[in-house]
Amino acid sequence: MSIWMEDQSSKKQWFKDGMVKDDYVSTANAIPDASAADYVECFRDTLDSDLVDSSDAMRKLYALKGGALRLELAVTIRVLRSTPMNVSRADLMPVCSASEE
């Protein structure tokens, strides 16, 4: 899995590539029997959600050293009567444009 983000005003970009399931799933946030494709769909839904109207999805960006960003996604998964919050994080590295090199 990979994640690519762009700031629409500054055009700065960040990228994380080659992520395997162990990079974003731990015993604390695993969804039983979910495949990597299931997680990708869940992450896409979280990124596409209208956060104003949703208490089930959350996304945050944190600035890291060297211009990197940490993307944190959290989504509430309803399983029977349990509603655990699944939180995943990815550290995105800045992408240098030709004008920055």
In a domain, 79, yes or no: yes
Confidence of residue 23 (pLDDT cuts 50, 70, 90): confident
Residue 91, judged by CB atoms within 10 A of its CB (0-12, 13-18, 19+), counts as middle
HSE-up of 9 (CA within 13 Å, CB side)? 0
Kindly state the helix (H) or strand (E) to which residue 36 belongs, with its residue range: helix 36-48
In a domain, 101, yes or no: no
* pLDDT tens per residue, range 31-54: 878 888 888 888 888 888 776 666
* Tally of structural domains, the chain: 1
93 closest CA partner among 8, 9, 13: 13
Written as one string, the DSSP assignment of 54-71 is: -SSEEEEEEE-GGG-EEE
In a domain, 41, yes or no: yes
Confidence of residue 82 (pLDDT cuts 50, 70, 90): low
In a domain, 100, yes or no: no
Confidence of residue 83 (pLDDT cuts 50, 70, 90): low
In a domain, 49, yes or no: yes
In a domain, 40, yes or no: yes
* pLDDT tens per residue, range 58-80: 888 899 999 999 998 887 777 66
Range of the domain at 11: 3-95
Please check the confidence at residue 98 and state whether its pLDDT lies above 70: no
